[in-house]
Amino acid sequence: MTKSQVYFTNLRTRPGHNLLKKLENLIIKAGIGKIEFDKKIVAIKIHFGEPGNLAYIRPDYAAQVVKFLRSKGASPFLTDCNTLYRGRRSNAPDHLEAAFEHGYNPLVTGCPVIIADGVRGAEYHEVEINSELTPSAKIGSAIVDSDIIISMNHFKGHELTGFGGALKNLGMGCASVGGKLYLHSGSSPRIYEKNCTGCKMCEKYCAHDAIKVGKDKIARIDYKKCVGCGQCVAVCQYDAARVVWKQSSETACKRISEYALAAVKDKPSFHINFIMDVSPDCDCWDLNDYPLVPDIGLAASFDPVALDKACTDMVNSAPALAGSSIRESDNNKDLRGEDKFRISHPDTYWQAGIEHAVKIGLGSLDYELIDLK
């Protein structure tokens, strides 16, 4: 079987060849031009960064990709779905404001910003995949309705999945709020009565008639009707409808891979990983801890599985930074060749996700790393 090609470039520059030029050269060498972009709508899936977290991909990189796509006749837009948790990105108005604050706006990037699952996370399509754990996936409408998807992924650690890269950005990132509930918890939400105001927003938006607000102005869920779609969590403004976080890392990783399969179903896709500011935790936190390893470079591939595997190998081969969370106890060990993601989050099993992705036909673990220097 032919190995998947993963193209890589380091972060060294020279006059006339800055990092933006290196990114453009990387994606061209990796074959992005094989995709027919003329008159196609292209979703660029990216994490805009939670305010307070400074490890997000700089919008300059997105602008460079947009410039290339427009030169090929495409109509690109930057996109992400709303979050499950209560932050600055849980609804479209706040999400757009956060994106704009971080430079993700048409003036800087040269294209629109669209929140893929709508104002409150309720706009999605059910994408049938009939996979091992997931019959169908709730994917943000704007992503499903696009012709092509390009993922731009900050490669870093993650407290649930071990690491976050292309698979995580596609699977979790393209999921609507209800999809995120499924991926995180595998169970129905709960009502925390002390926070409930009886506003009836959850009752109004429940498509399954599973929530009723009683005379005591407390919402209650009928679990015989509840399907775990997560819309009550999405619309509750008082943190009364909450997720029950009880999903195992292995199951979550597998489900995320299945959602990634749904996100790219029936359309060309291309993926870019930024192995920079490799923080130990998810970018959804309003902070970013000291990186685990030095900045490594940029990598690109048509195969998101091979891309993520190549990046985990590069991170695990690199020395851990002194002063990072994984070298606090013994600064004499640089941890070269050790699994830094498992050291950072011992309860995770990131291999489950990429191995399952291979099983369901999303990509390959066998790759050829082509170093462009």
- Predicted pLDDT of residue 245: 55
pLDDT score, position 181? 82
What are 7's two structure tokens? 């193209």
Its domain, for residue 219, covers 190-242
For residue 39, what is the domain's CATH number?
3.40.50.11440
Residue 248 has pLDDT above 60, yes or no: yes
Determine, yes or no, domain membership for 370: no
**Residue 9 and residue 39 in one domain:** yes
Q: What distance in Å separates the CA atoms of residue 223 and residue 56, rounded to the nearest whole number?
A: 38
Average pLDDT, the chain: 93
Total domains in the fold of the chain: 2
Q: 217-226 — which CB contacts under 8 Å span 24+ positions?
A: 218/191, 218/193, 219/191, 220/191, 221/188, 221/189, 221/190, 221/191, 223/188, 226/188, 226/189
- Can you give the pTM of this predicted structure? 0.87
Q: Is residue 110 part of a domain?
A: yes
Beta bridge partners of 312: none
CATH number of the domain at 212, please. 3.30.70.20
**pLDDT for the residue 347:** 79
Tell which of 207, 222, 242 closes a domain: 242
The answer as to whether 373 is a domain residue is: no
Residues 175 and 269 both lie in one domain: yes
pLDDT single digits (tens) 32-87: 999 999 999 999 999 999 999 999 999 999 999 999 999 999 999 999 999 877 67
The pLDDT value given to residue 232: 82
Task: Encode pLDDT of 155-194 as tens digits.
Answer: 999 888 899 999 999 999 999 988 988 887 665 689 999 9
- Specify whether the CB–CB gap between 41 and 114 falls below 8 A: no
In a domain, 101, yes or no: yes
Q: Specify the pLDDT at position 330.
A: 59
